[in-house]
């Protein structure tokens, strides 16, 4: 596997030299630059994977450098470092495309952790593996999904993504597009459930001027806008039977007419769809067309729930802590082992989206630098207190029943412990331990 190449950009030589020494020791190909202009020159002549840059520098700022980098090569990941952190700057940086945002003074461990997490998911380094941090793959089930994404990303096959709400279906679709030969073309997202039935047709296929009241201009639809690229049809299980017919026709013929138009528009579009419903069941119920189902279900892909990949929670929590802390400008927060165990044991009906929201909430409202159990939302730790209470009551009930049975059997056997143990089906030694445990008088 190729080594990760890192470029460190800072006008303070002591900072660049320190980080250079650390990353060389860690086995990374490392370059340094003292300005944005010098950094762009290095990018032009070397294959760079990750850039760590200060924001406040003479000439070109880190934000300006970030913008230039993303226009040159969107696959280069950028970590911004600054002593002048504000919420506005952090949000601006993340919107432009920064992968992480670290405030000075920073620890070398913090910077290394950020780089390692990016390297783990780097598309350029991991044979086009998805780069979003929702796809940490400590778990075997998620690793299988990543392998499937790598395998089918650069094909023309239609992908049908299944999964509960909040599992990252949209991110999987984005990764499939980013890792395909269409990555430089449009990626158009459509939430079929969010658009009223009466508007969905015009949104997908566009309309001509005068097609209906209020249609004062020609408007291209989402399929037309996605030409050459990918269209992602989220919540496909919610479209009406009429829309199913129209979509099937487009998928079969790769052409359509705008609403109110007569001109046939040919398209080259890769289709990725997603749903949190069971399409096979909808087909059996006659709600979803079988022929459309087969057209969509060429490559089925199931994104596991967070309950099925609990091995990933530790890494996800760490990432969300870092991300939320940097955005809030409150500095990196830690979490106690007890609080982490509460998160690992939680059922997570809202999946990764719920976990991210919980961590963000904790970072914002927790006054100390360490998040403890009681800093978590009440519904998380109280549910476990209730479960522990129920388990405790169950154990007490079992103990009482066992004690009464032993007492009754001893009485029937006139205190003969050998006979009692034989009737109860336990050894004499076990019987003596239980008599001692329950303080049963001879």
- What are the sequence ranges of the domains in the chain? 5-120, 133-302, 306-376, 380-437
**pLDDT surpasses 60 at 98:** yes
Matching fold, domains 306-376 and 380-437: no
**pLDDT surpasses 60 at 1:** no
In the predicted model, what is the mean pLDDT of residues 147-156?
Answer: 90
In the predicted model, what is the mean pLDDT of residues 168-187?
Answer: 90
How would you write the chain as a 3-class SS string?
CCCCEEEEECCCHHHHHHHHHHHHHCCCEEEEECCHHHHHHHHHHCCCCEEEEECCCCCCCHHHHHHHHHHHCCCCEEEEEECCCCHHHHHHHHHHCCCEEEECCCCHHHHHHHHHHHHHCCCCCCCCCCCCHHHCCCCHHHHHHHHHHHHHCCCCCCEEEECCCCCCHHHHHHHHHHCCCCCCCCEEEEECCCCCHHHHHHHHHEECCCCCCCCCCCEECHHHHCCCCEEEEECHHHCCHHHHHHHHHHHHHCEEECECCCCEEECCCEEEEEECCCHHHHHHCCCCCHHHHHHHCCEEEECCCHHHHHHHHHHHHHHHHHHHHHHHCCCCCEECHHHHHHHHHCCCCCHHHHHHHHHHHHHHHCCCCEECHHHCCHHHHHHHHHHHHHHHHHHHHHHHHHHHHHHHHHHHCCCCHHHHHHHHCCCHHHHHHHHHHCCCCC
**pLDDT surpasses 50 at 386:** no
Beta pairing partners, 162: 275, 302
In the predicted model, what is the mean pLDDT of residues 311-330?
Answer: 82
pLDDT on residue 274: 97
pLDDT, mean over the chain:
85
**pLDDT surpasses 50 at 336:** yes
**pLDDT surpasses 90 at 214:** no
pTM: 0.59
Selection from 6-15, 80-89, 134-143 with the highest mean pLDDT: 6-15
**pLDDT surpasses 50 at 123:** no
The pLDDT tens digits for 290-318 are 999 999 999 999 999 999 999 889 888 98
Instruction: Tell me the fold of 306-376.
Output: Helicase, Ruva Protein; domain 3 (1.10.8)
pLDDT on residue 442: 63
Selection from 76-80, 97-101, 327-331 with the highest mean pLDDT: 76-80
Count the alpha carbons within 13 Å of 282 in the hemisphere toward its beta carbon: 20
pLDDT on residue 420: 87
Selection from 127-136, 207-216, 336-345, 418-427 with the highest mean pLDDT: 336-345
pLDDT on residue 133: 54
CATH class of 133-302: alpha beta
Q: Which of 11-20, 90-99, 232-241, 294-303 has the lowest mean pLDDT?
A: 90-99
Query: Which band of pLDDT confidence, cut at 50, 70 and 90, is reported for residue 99?
Result: confident
Query: Which band of pLDDT confidence, cut at 50, 70 and 90, is reported for residue 46?
Result: confident
Q: Which of 194-198, 202-206, 327-331, 430-434 has the lowest mean pLDDT?
A: 327-331
Percent of the chain, pLDDT > 90?
39
Query: Which band of pLDDT confidence, cut at 50, 70 and 90, is reported for residue 137?
Result: low
Q: Which CATH superfamily is domain 380-437 in?
A: Homeodomain-like (1.10.10.60)
**pLDDT surpasses 70 at 384:** no
**pLDDT surpasses 60 at 124:** no
The domain 5-120: what is its CATH number?
3.40.50.2300
d(CA 259, CA 74): 36
Between 83 and 6, residue with greater pLDDT: 6
**pLDDT surpasses 50 at 128:** no
pLDDT on residue 404: 83
pLDDT on residue 89: 66
In the predicted model, what is the mean pLDDT of residues 194-223?
Answer: 88
**pLDDT surpasses 60 at 125:** no
Q: Which of 71-80, 173-182, 243-252 has the lowest mean pLDDT?
A: 71-80
């Amino acid at each position: 596997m190729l080594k990760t190449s890192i470029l460190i950009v800072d006008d303070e030589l002591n900072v660049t030299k320190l980080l250079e020494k650390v990353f060389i020791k860690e086995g990374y190909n490392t370059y340094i630059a003292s300005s944005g202009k010098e950094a762009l020159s290095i990018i032009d002549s070397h294959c760079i994977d990750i850039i760590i840059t200060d924001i406040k520098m003479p000439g070109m700022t880190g934000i300006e450098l970030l913008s230039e980098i993303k226009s040159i090569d969107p696959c280069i990941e950028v970590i911004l470092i600054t002593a002048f952190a504000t919420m506005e700057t952090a949000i601006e940086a993340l919107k432009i495309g920064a992968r992480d945002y670290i405030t000075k003074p920073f620890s070398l461990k913090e910077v290394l952790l950020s780089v390692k997490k990016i390297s783990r998911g780097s598309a350029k380094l991991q044979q086009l593996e998805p780069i979003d941090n929702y796809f940490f793959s400590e778990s075997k089930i998620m690793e299988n999904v990543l392998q499937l994404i790598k395998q089918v990303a650069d094909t023309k096959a239609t992908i049908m993504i299944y999964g509960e709400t909040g599992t990252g279906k949209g991110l999987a679709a984005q990764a499939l597009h980013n890792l395909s030969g269409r990555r430089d073309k449009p990626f158009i997202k459509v939430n079929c459930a969010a658009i009223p039935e009466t508007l969905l047709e015009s949104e997908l296929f566009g309309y001509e001027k005068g097609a209906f009241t209020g249609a004062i201009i020609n408007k291209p639809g989402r399929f037309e806008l996605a030409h050459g690229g990918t269209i992602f049809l989220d919540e496909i299980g919610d479209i009406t039977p009429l829309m199913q017919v129209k979509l099937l026709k487009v998928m079969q013929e790769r052409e359509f007419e705008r609403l109110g138009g007569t001109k046939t528009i040919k398209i080259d579009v890769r289709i990725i769809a997603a749903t949190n419903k069971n399409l096979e069941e909808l087909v059996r119920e006659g709600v979803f067309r079988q022929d459309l189902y087969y057209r969509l279900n060429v490559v089925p892909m199931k994104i596991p729930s967070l309950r099925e990949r609990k091995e990933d929670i530790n890494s996800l929590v760490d990432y969300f802590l870092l991300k939320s802390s940097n955005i809030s400008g409150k500095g990196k927060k830690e979490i106690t082992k007890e609080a982490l165990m509460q998160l690992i044991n939680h059922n997570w009906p809202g999946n990764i989206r719920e976990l991210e929201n919980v961590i963000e909430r904790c970072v914002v409202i927790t006054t100390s630098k360490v998040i403890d159990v009681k800093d978590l939302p009440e519904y998380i730790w109280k549910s476990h207190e209730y479960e522990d209470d129920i388990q405790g009551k169950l154990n007490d009930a079992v103990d009482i029943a066992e004690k009464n049975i032993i007492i009754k059997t001893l009485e029937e056997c006139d205190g003969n412990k050998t006979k009692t143990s034989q009737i109860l089906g336990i050894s004499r030694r076990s019987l003596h331990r239980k008599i001692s445990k329950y303080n049963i008088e001879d």
